[in-house]
Amino acid sequence: MSVPLDLVLRRARVATASDQFDCDIGIAGGRIVALAESLPAAVQEIDVAGRFVTPGGIDSHCHLDQPMLPPVRMADDFESGTRSAACGGTTTVIPFAAQAKGQSLHDAVADYHGRADGRASVDYAFHLIVADPTPTVLQHELPALIEAGYSSFKLYMTYDDLKLDDGQILKVLEVARREQAMTMIHAENSEAIAYLTERLVAEGRVAPRFHGASRPGLVEREATHRAIMLSELVDAPILIVHVSGAEAIEQLRWARGKGLNIHAETCPQYLFLSQDDLALEGFRGAMCVCSPPPRDRANQQHVWDALADGLFSVVSSDHAPFNYDDPNGKRLGGREPPFPYIPNGIPGLETRLPLLFSEGVLSGRISLQDFVALTATNAARLYGLYPRKGTVAVGSDADLVIWDTSTPRTIRNTDLHHAVDYTPYEGRELQAWPAITLLRGQVVWDGQQFLGRAGQGRFLRCERPATAKPRPRAGQWQTPFTEGAP
């Protein structure tokens, strides 16, 4: 070796999205510089002893310190949220710089950098949330931000302060197609949810379990179908976020069968939680209020099946951290509010990878290669970070997880590292947990304690994803409406 090694991981059983092999891993300057059967001595060495080593996780859908309407406040900022990520094997997070109506996108991004700078202990990028696609945003701000490394954004079909109508979505998709960006869509039918919510409240059915009744699978099915249609009309790729069950999955299978460039994401809450959790005694179901809501147990199996057969590209946490016993959280104003007013979201950054490794890989539901693809590689590809992130390869950042699969572990919120006062997975027994997490070759979690530091994480510029359509050349048609025109 001509390059002096800072660190060697000995006897690693490496898994990527396509391969599994045994080797030593040589690290220098924060990057992987060698994969070999036997490497020379390094300044530091870790004997992996045949344990699995995977790329550091990429959580490409999480919310940290996102501005909320008072008095609601998220429990996790960038310091506590990224600390939690590192301890759960995630080395890159992609939360959202959310535009408010009337706000410029540039101001939203500047605000979010202010929240993250000096606080993150893992690497991070930003998605945008486009809530007000004015002509200035569409013609100037959004193209400029895509060029500057913010190459993905999220659109909402529900929530009054965020939702876009179909015409607005089409205009944003046109920009995405032209500029080679990736569009994420929260697909639920807003009008149907409002109708059902009004009826339920009028009848006095306001306990947390009725959150699920207000957002049945068919409202997700309709919006998923509509989002696919809008994508097809403009010929722009999209990713449907947090898919919860069979009805939306059916629409995605239809789109895939047509060869459309449609991607999909699901989350642990749709694999491990159900409508029974929303119906916990008293107000405790509020802990599991998220949108879409957890479905019944039959739908859990549909989601597992879709993971196994490759329908889903990504498993993210959709970490949306609100304290349970908090007047700024689930107990809004110090009361037990009706379900429409319960802050919407659950924590999950730290538990995402252990849950899926233990109950997916070790239970035989998915392969180890699928696990890597779903939790790291595919997100890196979709959001323009590959191959710097998301794989174990020479030249990639040395973001690595060494797994302990021999020590049973029970999830306890007291053992987690977020700032949330509960976990919806309390008491669940797992057989896998990160023994060591490395960020760019530095140990940030040693299986017992967090060893990283605030400010250690770096902001990542995202390239345009390879799955996006290329820009039209001069003289080419710009939208489907002019194709074949004289």
Say what the pLDDT of residue 468 is.
Answer: 60
Say what the pLDDT of residue 465 is.
Answer: 82
Beta carbons of 251 and 221 less than 8 angstroms apart = yes
**Buried b or exposed e, range 362-383, using 16+ CB within 10 angstroms:** beebbebbbbbbbbbbbbbbbb
Residue 17, burial from CB neighbour count under 10 angstroms (0-12, 13-18, 19+): buried
Residue 476, burial from CB neighbour count under 10 angstroms (0-12, 13-18, 19+): exposed
Mean pLDDT of 30-49: 97
Say what the pLDDT of residue 474 is.
Answer: 36
Beta carbons of 87 and 350 less than 8 angstroms apart = yes
Domains of the chain: 57-382 (3.20.20.140)
pLDDT in tens, 406-461: 999 999 999 999 999 999 999 999 999 999 999 999 999 999 999 999 999 999 99
Say what the pLDDT of residue 483 is.
Answer: 36
The terminus-to-terminus CA distance of the chain in angstroms comes to 62
pLDDT in tens, 71-112: 999 999 999 999 999 999 999 999 999 999 999 999 999 999
Say what the pLDDT of residue 478 is.
Answer: 40
pLDDT in tens, 204-232: 999 999 999 999 999 999 999 999 999 99
What global pTM score does this model have? 0.95
Q: Using pLDDT thresholds of 50, 70 and 90, give the confidence band for residue 3.
A: confident
3-state class percentages of the chain: helix first, strand second, coil last, to nearest 5: 35, 20, 50
Say what the pLDDT of residue 197 is.
Answer: 98
Gap between the Cα atoms of 339 and 328, Å rounded: 15
Residues 6+ apart with CB under 8 A from 409: 354, 429, 430, 431, 433
DSSP class of 34:
E
**Buried b or exposed e, range 256-278, using 16+ CB within 10 angstroms:** beeebbbbbbbbbbbbbbbbebb
SS3 of 374, please? Answer: helix
